[in-house]
Structure 1
Amino acid sequence: MSLTFEHTTLGQRVLFGSGKAAEHLAAEVARLGATNIMVIASDFELKMARSVAAGIDVALWHTDVVMHVPIETAQAARTAAGDAGIDLVVCVGGGSTTGLAKAVALTTGIPVVAVPTTYAGSEATNVWGLTEAARKTTGVDDRVLPTAVIYDAELTLSLPVDMSVASGLNGMAHCIDSLWGPRADPINAALAAEGIRALAQGLPKIKNDPSGLPGREQALYGAYLSAVAFASAGSGMHHKICHVLGGTFNLPHAQTHATVLPYVLAFNATEAPDAEARIAAAFGADTATDGLARLRETLDAPKALKDYGFTAANIAEAVAVALPSIPANNPRKVTAANLTALLTAALNGENPKSLSDLS
C-alpha cells in the first residue's frame, strides 16, 4: 500500500548538553542580537534561572508563574514585557513557566528561548493554553513556538523522583496521543515510538539513581521527541480530557496526565491495532497496556484522580465539557456513558483493562 499523508515539521533550534545551559543561552542571545531580555522563572527556580542567565544582561525578572496560566497572570506578564520594551523572553522552568512565556509571545510576537527543567515537552510545540473562568482554552499558533530550546539534564537534578515520574509520564502521554491524534502520520509515529522507548529507559534510571545524568538525559531526549510528535499530530482524546481536568478542576498537570494515561490507552488500544503494536514494541512488551502497566509499577506512578482532589461529583461536569472536544477520528467512539466509566475508573484507580470491554 502506498503512503499518502501530509506532515509539518516545525522549525526550531535545539541545543542539548549537560552543564552547558549558561553557555548555550549566551550564544543564543548573541545569535539573536537581543538587547532587552525578560527572564520568566518561578520563585522556586529563580536561583537556578540566575545561574543559567549568568552570561547575559537581564532587563526584567518575572516570577509570577501560576499553573494552567490564568488569563490574569498572562496579561500581567504581557504588560510587564511591553512596558520594559522586551525583545526576547527566556523561560527557565517547567510547563507552567513555558506556558506563560508562550502567552506573552502569542499577543506580542516576542521570540522565546526555552530552558526546560522538567519533561513536560511544551517547549517544542506551537500549542498554547490559557485558563479563564474555570475553563482551559488551547490553540495552535506558530508565534508561541520557542525559537530555540536549551536542554541541560543538570537542571533537572533538583526535580524530585515523584515529580520526575509524573512529568515523564506526561511526556509519554504526548507520544501515545500522537499515534491517534487528528493529524497522525507515519513520521509522528516514528518519533513517538522512539520517545516511548527513551522515556521507558530513562525514567527507571532516574528512580534508581536520582543524582545520575544518564537517565535524566534519556528522559529529556524522549520528552523532546514526544513534543515534536504531538505538535504535528495534534491533541487527541487523552489531552482533551486532561485539559478539562486541569482547567476546570485545577488538578495538577503532570500527575493528572500520568493518572489518566493508562485508561485512555486501554480504552483505545483494541480499536487501534497498528498503534497498539507500535507502543508494545517500544516498551518491549507483549501488549501496549502491559508495557505501560509494567513501567508504572516500576515507577510507583500516580494511580487515582481522587488523590488530587477530583471527586465523583465532578464527573458529570467533566464529561459534559470534554466530550464535544474529543476528535472525531479517535479510534473508538466516545459517548457520555463510556467516558463516565473511564473517568470513574481513573478516579478510583481501578484496573484499566476493564475499559476494553465497554460499549
Structure 2
Amino acid sequence: MKKIFLTSLIIFFTFMLIAQKNNTAKNINNLSFNLLANINTESKNVLFSAYSISNALAMTYVGAKDSTKLEMGKILFPYNENNISKGFYRLNESLGFNKKIQLFSANAIWLENAYKLKKVFKKIIAEDFMSKVNKANFSTKKGREKAKKEINSWVEKTTKGKIADFLKPKVLSESTTLVLVNAIYFYSNWDVKFAKANTYKAKFETSTENISECDYMTDTSNFLYYSNDLLSAVEIPYQNNEASLIILLPNNASNNLSDLVDYQYFAKLYPKLKNEKVALHLPKFKLESKYELNSYFKKMGLVSAFKPTANFSGITGKKEIHISNVIHKATVEINESGTKASAATAVITTRSAIIGKKTKPILFKANHPFVFLIREKSTGTILFIGNLAKP
C-alpha cells in the first residue's frame, strides 16, 4: 500500500511541476500580446521581451504584500498567482536544456547599502531566480555612477555586447533602494539557411502613402502555415527545431494586428498550422528599442505598485519602497543565416520538412507591417515579440 501511495505522490508532484512551468509560459505569452497592444503604433517598429520583463517583475512580486500583490498577480500572472517563483525556476531550467540555440538569461540585484533583504526573500531570489545580490551606494553621486557602470557592464556581458549603456545618467537617484535586472540573449541559425544569392530588393508598404524599399530573403520549401480571413501565419524553424520565428501577416495591409490578436487567439491559431509548400519572401531587418514601461503598465491596470503607498515589505521588511521605473531595452537582427536577439529589463524600486499535398507553392510575401515572435518550442514560451512597421 505504501508503494502505491508513493508512486501516486510522485506522479502528482510531477504533474504539479509541469503545471507550474506551463502556467508561467502562459503568463509570459499573455503579457507579450497585452503589452504589444498597448505599445504598438501603426508607424513605429516595436520590439520587446515579455520573458525578460516578467522575470524582473516576478522577483519584485515575491516581496509584494496585500493589495499590491493582488493587483500584480491579476495583471502579470492571471494563469496562476501561487508558486510564481517555482514556476519561473522550472521554466528557466527547461529553457537551459537547449543545445543548438544559444539562449542565456540571468538575473541580478543591486541593493542600497543601508537596506538589508529579508532572509525569505533573499533565499527565494537566490534559489528560484539564481540572482546574485550586489551592494550599492545610491545615496552619493559617486556611488550611483559606480552602480550604473556595474549594471551596464553586467548587461553588456550577459547580452554578448548587444546591449551597451543600458542605464542612462540620472536614472538612479538618491532615493533608489533596489534595482532588479534581467538580461536575455538569443542566437540561432535557421534550420535551413536562406541563400544570400536569392536576396533581392523590393518595396515594403509602410502605409497607403508611404512606401520604402528593403532586402527580401526568399525560399520555397515546406513550412508550417495557416491562413484565415484575417491573417496568414508561417513558422520558420531555427536549428534543430528548438525555436522558431512566427510571422503573423494581416491580409489587409491597413489592419493593425496587435489590436485584433491576443494570446487566446494565438493559442487557438497555432495548432492549426500545417505543413504546406510555401514561397516565402521575408524582409531582412534589424531593430533596437528602449522603453520606460511604467505608463503602459498603468494603462493595463497595474497602478498601486508605482505609488508611494505600495507594499513591498516582503523585500526589506519596510513599506517605504515602491517601483519608480521599469526600463526595458531589446535588439533583434534577422538575416539569411539566422537571428540574434537580446533584451534587458530593470525594475527600479522608486520554426518540418514533410512534403505537403499541394504542388503549387503558397505565396507568403511579408511586404507590409506584420507581427513577429520568437518562440521556444519545448515550453511554448514567447521569448521576443514585435511589430515590423518599417524594415
| Normalised TM-score (structure 1) | 0.23
Which of the pair is proportionally richer in strand?
Answer: 2
Bigger radius of gyration, 1 or 2?
2
